[in-house]
Structure 1
Amino acid sequence: MYFLIFIYVILVFYTFLVWKYKYWQTKKIPFVQPQLFFGSIKEVVQGKTHFGVLFRDYYHKFQSVPYFGYFKMREPAIIVKDPELVKNIIIKDFNSFANNDFQVDPQNDPIWAQNVFGQTGERWKKNRHAWTSGLTALKVKSMYDDINAKCDVMTEYLKKHTENNPNEPLEARVLASKLFTDIIVSSVFGMETNSFEDPNNAFINITKSFFISTFLDGIGTYIFMVAPWLGNFLGLRFVSKRVENQLMEVAKILVEKRKKLGLQKTNPFDNLLMNGYKKDSAATEFSTLDVAGLIFGFLFDGTETSAGVSGFMLYAIAANPEVQTKLRAEIDEAYKLNGGKLSHENVYDMQYLDMVFQETLRLYNPALIMQRLCTKPYTLPPVSTAAKPFQVPVGMTVIIPMYALHTDPKYFSEPEKFNPDRFTEEGKSNIQKGAYLAFGDGPRICVGTRLATSQLKISISNIIRNFEVRLAPQMVNNPIKIDPNVFLMRSVDNLWVTFHKRAL
């Protein structure tokens, strides 16, 4: 009898695991065959490949359809391939896909819960508006002198490095992280750091935590992406308790400083406090947790994502000497036209610099996928002439495979080649809408686009103006391998480059 009960329990459990695996078959929609326990993402669970890389492989297996199904463990989800449908989902029909499917419990991870990326409803609208008003074009432009001053510090550091340690490589992403940390601390928080001279200051220690990559980190990210409820149940966090404590300490310092000096409308951080987190007119009423969340948001978005793009941009420039030569000529001309200096307007007037930037974002975009949650019933057109329209149910995950779209030869010839010329004015007009999503699009487009663009372009201009950048010997003929344990685009191997001072 006990044996029969055991068999019955096993059968019930097995049925529970597999009964949804017929979902796409009943809908007559092509799908990736699932495997028990893993669904369609076994390689991700095992830490062998990144979500974006796996979905790109699936993307190419389903050549003739605008979308197809897969299973995240036992739950059916959908991957949309067609750029026109992508555009509708993230722009035209945004209200049906208003939320990112990447949410945490505020009680369990209060710092990450402050980030607009995972927020929903009225809270998202309010804080999104605050971030948008805090990072207007005029406010970012007002940060130019601070950005340029920190770039000068970096340039002096690199000059000393090339004199004292010629041909010794530096890791491109780490270099950029130090610079962008100092920029954010100075221009946003109103404090001073020099991460090149003091690599263990409080802020750089916080940003270093963003770069930790382990198999366990990958498992945690995987759990939140496929079963957020399980991540919250297990008490998993994106921001460790140690980092949270560090942020809270820095927040106390900033709150005290604001109490003495008051809030400045022109400062992005203060503007956010006034528009999104203000409880009354007194700075003493700001929640330390709110301030800590804002500090995290600026540091994460201003260092992790920007440093990643900058690292890949330096790598690509070093790997393509003809691109570097052409870019340097444009930068030198911009300096010459402005009396040996670089103005904010000069930076945005440089067309080839923007082309190199856009091509870097195509090949090495921080986000490999966009993960949306269906919030209102939505109808997709038939997947084929023989099929019926598909009603996307509320709660279903919809994947936009950005990495796959950016490297599809249908939209970008020789997609693996770094070729900035595809982003000439004529070239951009020929790119199908929805096939290139450097910063996302629609109401959830990246709020830090202006700040990221400014600090990246200014810093790259300073570097290429003063140095020739070359790949370190260990990087030659060593293609980029995407780290499977990090949600954002990250190279498994360090991006080693050498700097060689120019005679100006």
Structure 2
Amino acid sequence: MLIELLIFLVTSLLAYYVYVYKKIHWHYDNRGLKYIPGVPIFGNVLKSTFLRRHMFEDLDAVYKEFPDEKYVGFLEGVTPILLIRNPDLIKSVTVKNFDHFMNHKKFFDEETEPLFGGSLLMMDGERWRDMRMTLSPAFTGSKMRHMLPFMVEISNNLVEYLKDHQSEDMDVEDLIRRYTNDVIASAAYGLRVNSFKDKENEFFVTGQNLFKFNWWQRFIFFVSIQFPAIGKVFGGSIFPKKTTEFFRDLVRNTMEYRRKNNIERPDMIQLLMEASEGKLKNADTEENDSVGFATVNEELKHHGHTREWTENELIGQVFIFFVAGFESSASALVMCVHELAINPNIQETLYQEIREFKETKETLSYDNVSVLKYLDNVLNETLRKWSPAVILDRICNKEFILPPPREGGDAYRVNPGDVVYNFVNSLHMDPKYFPDPEKFDPDRFLDENKHNIKPFTYMPFGMGPRNCIGSRFALLELKVLLYNLVLNYKILKVEKTADPIKLKTDEFNLKSQGGSWVRFQARE
């Protein structure tokens, strides 16, 4: 019996090697596409799968291997991926020919993960378009103006908390996560929590469970991505059911309470309630102002059709707002604080701008935050060097012909169902577009230097109609905290502050290996 089992396993592996692994290589070879031969089953992601390096570094290795190619092949496990590294072709895929590449790669469907799978991030086709148009008015400048006071209140809570912790060396990750958690709790869910005082409050503790993946969740995630049918056999769900039910009940109960008691509050739940009732104005007629250089604008035009949404569909949008907004914003803020600690001259320049602003303005507001130009530059540079995006993924839904990957090459046919990744971070770190890319240099984004940035080489919030709908919210959240933090405290480098920063390998977002340790010293 044991011999028969061994024969079966060896035969299966050989069959896989010949018909799957080699088939992908033959596919690339026959069509003139360059690639790095992968490892069976793991392809080009062996090192990141086993936490030897970050996922970005696996992708960046392929980017750097072929500097003269417009696009190359990539093996994500057993899935062939087309990696686009040319800015003009990225524009073609994400904007000019968006109707050929409308959808994201599906991580989980609604059957497996009802809230995540039913969110704007995972929706396809016209259903996605309708939901995007429904939500767009909720993220315009006029709506963000009402949310900024929530951010100011919570940043003040953090500043107050630090008064009793100035002599401590601290890893700012926990501190920043409590800030972004409380901002989301207030701006999305209508809750007033202070996670600096009440460290074990239910909202914070439950939210953390979404991002603490054990080895089994990581295994399920890998299997579900590479072998969806097998993933369903294992149960498929990556988020704990108890946690998702907490968020579902919270939104449902809040909506019910507000309807019964005729209560309104300028937060995401209120905006979704208005959207579901058709009370929000179309994004076309709303202001489309910027809160910084990195802001992306709505590119879809309303087609006049209004879809009715179920309660579950609306709850899914508040859920993804937490998942996407909490972790990505926290990671960017942590890396920014870390960079300011190891670049004191930049921190001092930022402080002088903020101090002068404070002397001439009464309070920070949505209408005057754009005056802080250097603050915007610092955040732009953080999002260049440590962008949470990494890649912009797209699925081909209509056949498309790409021009040759190099002079003298052949055109490449992208078929429906093919997966396309558009590079982001690798372009941000390419010296061809950003000289001395490892240097943290906010001056790249000075008004007199912005013209040097080639279009589609800087994309922290994505490009095209499927860009990040919450870019204004995220930038405001980051700016409010940095303003209050730098105004009140010096951020000091300590013995445990990593310099240079090396990436943590067991996280999806970009974080410093060993943490981001600093000390806060009150300014006189």
Q: What's the TM-score, normalizing by structure 2?
A: 0.87
CA distance in 2, matches of 1:10, 1:496: 46
- Aligned partner of 2:332 in structure 1 is 309
- Aligned partner of 2:73 in structure 1 is 69
- Aligned partner of 1:261 in structure 2 is 261
Tell me if 1:105 matches 2:126: no
CA distance in 2, matches of 1:297, 1:476: 32
CA distance in 2, matches of 1:308, 1:146: 20
User: What is the identity, as a one-letter code, of the residue corresponding to 1:491?
Assistant: S
Tell me if 1:380 matches 2:384: no
User: What is the identity, as a one-letter code, of the residue corresponding to 1:192?
Assistant: R
- Aligned partner of 2:46 in structure 1 is 42
Per-residue displacement from partner, 1:72-97 (whole Å, max 9, x unpaired)?
A: 33332211111111111111111111
User: What is the identity, as a one-letter code, of the residue corresponding to 2:320?
Assistant: G
CA distance in 2, matches of 1:410, 1:14: 38
Per-residue displacement from partner, 1:202-223 (whole Å, max 9, x unpaired)?
A: 2111321244255544444444
CA distance in 1, matches of 2:207, 2:523: 31
Distance 1:358 1:21, change over 3 A: same
Aligned-pair distance for 1:200? 1.4
Kindly indicate whether the alpha-carbon contact (under 8 Å) linking 1:480 and 1:493 is maintained by their aligned counterparts in 2: no
User: What is the identity, as a one-letter code, of the residue corresponding to 2:512?
Assistant: S
CA distance in 1, matches of 2:459, 2:7: 55
Aligned-pair distance for 1:121? 1.6
- SS of the equivalent of 1:78 reads strand
Aligned-pair distance for 1:476? 4.4
Per-residue displacement from partner, 1:335-392 (whole Å, max 9, x unpaired)?
A: 11114x3233332211100000000001111121222111111111112232211111
CA distance in 2, matches of 1:6, 1:327: 61
Task: Give runs of aligned pairs for residues 84-233 of structure 1, distance below 5 A.
Answer: 84-162=88-166, 167-233=167-233
User: What is the identity, as a one-letter code, of the residue corresponding to 2:18?
Assistant: T
Aligned-pair distance for 1:140? 0.4
CA distance in 1, matches of 2:49, 2:39: 12
Per-residue displacement from partner, 1:118-145 (whole Å, max 9, x unpaired)?
A: 1112221122222211111111011222
Kindly indicate whether the alpha-carbon contact (under 8 Å) linking 1:45 and 1:219 is maintained by their aligned counterparts in 2: no
Percent identity over the alignment is 28
CA distance in 2, matches of 1:353, 1:4: 64
- SS of the equivalent of 1:122 reads helix
Aligned-pair distance for 1:415? 0.5
Kindly indicate whether the alpha-carbon contact (under 8 Å) linking 2:168 and 2:519 is maintained by their aligned counterparts in 1: yes
- Aligned partner of 1:327 in structure 2 is 350
CA distance in 1, matches of 2:246, 2:428: 38
Kindly indicate whether the alpha-carbon contact (under 8 Å) linking 2:491 and 2:521 is maintained by their aligned counterparts in 1: yes
Kindly indicate whether the alpha-carbon contact (under 8 Å) linking 2:251 and 2:269 is maintained by their aligned counterparts in 1: no
Unaligned runs of 5+ in 1: 280-284
Kindly indicate whether the alpha-carbon contact (under 8 Å) linking 1:81 and 1:400 is maintained by their aligned counterparts in 2: yes
Kindly indicate whether the alpha-carbon contact (under 8 Å) linking 2:190 and 2:265 is maintained by their aligned counterparts in 1: no
CA distance in 2, matches of 1:342, 1:385: 53
- SS of the equivalent of 1:101 reads coil
Unaligned runs of 5+ in 2: 280-307
Tell me if 1:245 matches 2:245: yes
Task: Give runs of aligned pairs for residues 413-424 of structure 1, distance below 5 A.
Answer: 413-424=435-446
Aligned-pair distance for 1:286? 8.7
Tell me if 1:472 matches 2:503: no
Q: Comparing 37-46 with 5-14, which one deviates more in the overlay?
A: 5-14
Per-residue displacement from partner, 1:418-440 (whole Å, max 9, x unpaired)?
A: 11011112322111111111111
- Aligned partner of 1:282 in structure 2 is none
- Which of the pair is proportionally richer in helix? 1
- Aligned partner of 2:286 in structure 1 is none
- SS of the equivalent of 1:99 reads coil
User: What is the identity, as a one-letter code, of the residue corresponding to 1:205?
Assistant: V
Aligned-pair distance for 1:26? 0.5
Kindly indicate whether the alpha-carbon contact (under 8 Å) linking 2:171 and 2:515 is maintained by their aligned counterparts in 1: yes
- SS of the equivalent of 1:499 reads strand
